Structure 1
Amino acid sequence: MQTLGPNQPDLPAIPSKRYFTIGEVALLCDVKAHVLRYWEQEFEQIHPVKRNNRRYYQQQDILLIRQIKSLLHEQGYTISGAKQWFGSQQGNDENLRYRQLLRQTITGLEDILKTLKSGR
């Protein structure tokens, strides 16, 4: 099965920043905002940060959304089939939590590195 890299030729590159609004993610993934909200309900792997009744996505969320879009729109999966695909790829819940924590840690370390490099 095909997986997608972060820089798909038909989609814009993901800017190097920590949080993205739902509008930005919709543009970066070429889907409507209401589709993103629906996919959040269907795919437990999508976890935007919610503050003041607004959603803020991180880079790993964008990559995941692009993968979901590929499975549904390009590879012909149903939502149920895409959920099964993710289940087979990500293993049990404990493994999923570990991967999410690892992604958050890497993102935090990258932010620290950028700050150090900028001399702030």
Structure 2
Amino acid sequence: MKRIDTKLMGIDQGEAVLFSEYEQGGDMWTGRGDRMRRQLVRFTERFSSPPAVHCSLSMWDIDSATNGRVEVSAEEITEGGFQVVFRTWDDTRIARARVRWMAIGEVENEDDWQLY
């Protein structure tokens, strides 16, 4: 469990188009090559420490002739952002995908200050 010891909690959220490959015959659509995509997401403001990040698919366009195999996760989470990672495998063919994300964590108060 992530415990947040603060009077101020920040929530940032957004949406990102991860890829759209069916028109160009990209690897996700043809089922060949690299079957993973990463996209850097930057928070609108920095958190005090790495926040908890949740990702979910908000849209996917998938070939109905194959099984839908998808994994979406947040990796390399820092105070300033994270990597959305989308993976598929085997014969799954995906034309395009979009993800929504939400980050919750501590933020600094303008009255906070540190003695050095």
Q: TM-score, normalised by structure 2?
A: 0.21
Q: Which has the higher contact order (CA 8 A, sep 6+)?
A: 2
Q: Would you tell me which structure has more helix in proportion to its own residues? A: 1
